[in-house]
Amino acid sequence: DIVMTQSPLSLPVTPGEPASISCRSSQSLLHSNGYTYLSWYLQKPGQSPQLLIYLSSNRASGVPDRFSGSGSGTDFTLKVSRVEAEDVGVYYCMQALQSPITFGPGTKVDIK
């Protein structure tokens, strides 16, 4: 199974400041078709998760452009250029290169 790790696991943020979360996979997520099957999700308190980024760096529909995804192979990063109060919650990365699909443990983001 592909193991996903995230750091940090807890991230206090200041509104208006940037924030960054790292995600690493135990093996490369690059498929032979050229796609990298890494996605990012935010689960706001009391809500279902929502997709932020797919295929490593593509913003999902309706996601503000302050969110960006980057990385390749086994190392990936989610960046928020200027954190807003509504961005608090738990962020997860997920790999779908192979079954079983696996999620990272989550990074809890809250306001300082």
Partner 1 sequence: EVELVESGGGLVQPGGSLRLSCAASGFAFSKNWMTWVRQAPGKGLEWVASIKEDGSEKLHVDSVKDRFTISRDNAKNSLYLQMNSLRGEDTAVYYCVKSQYRACDYWGQGTLVTVSS
Q: Cα–Cα distances in Å, from 67 out to 46, 53, 94, 97, 98?
A: 21, 8, 16, 23, 26
Span of 16-24, 51-59, 71-79, 81-89 interacting with partner 1 by CB under 8 A: 51-59
48 lines the binding site for partner 1 (CB under 8 A): yes
Structure tokens at 70: 């980057």
What's the number of CA atoms in the CB half-sphere (13 Å) around residue 43?
Answer: 14
Q: Which of 19, 23, 54, 71 binds partner 1 (CB under 8 A)?
A: 54
Span of 10-18, 41-49, 64-72, 74-82 interacting with partner 1 by CB under 8 A: 41-49
Rg (CA), the chain: 13
Three-state DSSP state, 86: helix
Calpha distance 112→97 (Å, rounded): 36
Span of 11-19, 36-44, 66-74, 81-89 interacting with partner 1 by CB under 8 A: 36-44
Q: Which of 30, 59, 60, 81 binds partner 1 (CB under 8 A)?
A: 60
Residue 17's identity, in one-letter code, is E
Query: Which residues contribute to the site for partner 1 (CB under 8 A)?
Result: 35, 37, 39, 41, 43, 48-51, 54-55, 58, 60, 90, 92, 94, 96-97, 99-106
